[in-house]
Amino acid sequence: MAYQVAWEKVALQINKDGTDTILRRGELLPKTGVDEFTLGVLTSIGAVNIREDPPENLVEAQPDPADGEPTAPPHLPPEQTGDPAASTEPGEPPATSANKPDWVDYAVSRGLSRVEAERLSKDALINRYGN
């Protein structure tokens, strides 16, 4: 089992020197350094998704020796996001006056699971995915 970043970026304080590590959408969380409570919070707010069988071409984020930031893994094609309708180019977000199902569809196109998107309020979806 692995945890994959669903948000655009997630900052975790897992470095021994106390600095943050920035993980980007699609990256896997390191197997060590993240406690169970933090994993629970990140999962419950939709920042990370549980992957029972992560794709073989996806690797755990590793610090880049040049700047200490993790290197990004390859982006997942739509067929590996869990939603066949997902697109790698989500386009423009709906208008703030659009109904919640439009915002749910947009959030799904940005990588959030449909179940997680439907759990969030319209305002939360706008805050997370609006411009």
CB atoms inside a 10 Å sphere around CB 131: 6
pLDDT tens digits along 40-50 = 888 888 888 88
pLDDT tens digits along 57-96 = 555 555 545 545 444 444 444 444 444 444 445 688 999 8
6 and 67 assigned to the same domain: yes
- The mean pLDDT of the chain is 75
Domain final position from 72, 87, 115: 72
Distance (Å, whole) CA 26 – CA 111: 9
| Residues 28/3, Cβ–Cβ less than 8 Å | yes
| Residues 25/9, Cβ–Cβ less than 8 Å | yes
pLDDT at residue 120, rounded to an integer:
86
pLDDT at residue 26, rounded to an integer:
86
Structural domain boundaries, residue 110: 78-129
101 and 122 assigned to the same domain: yes
62 and 41 assigned to the same domain: yes
What's the number of domains the chain is made of? 2
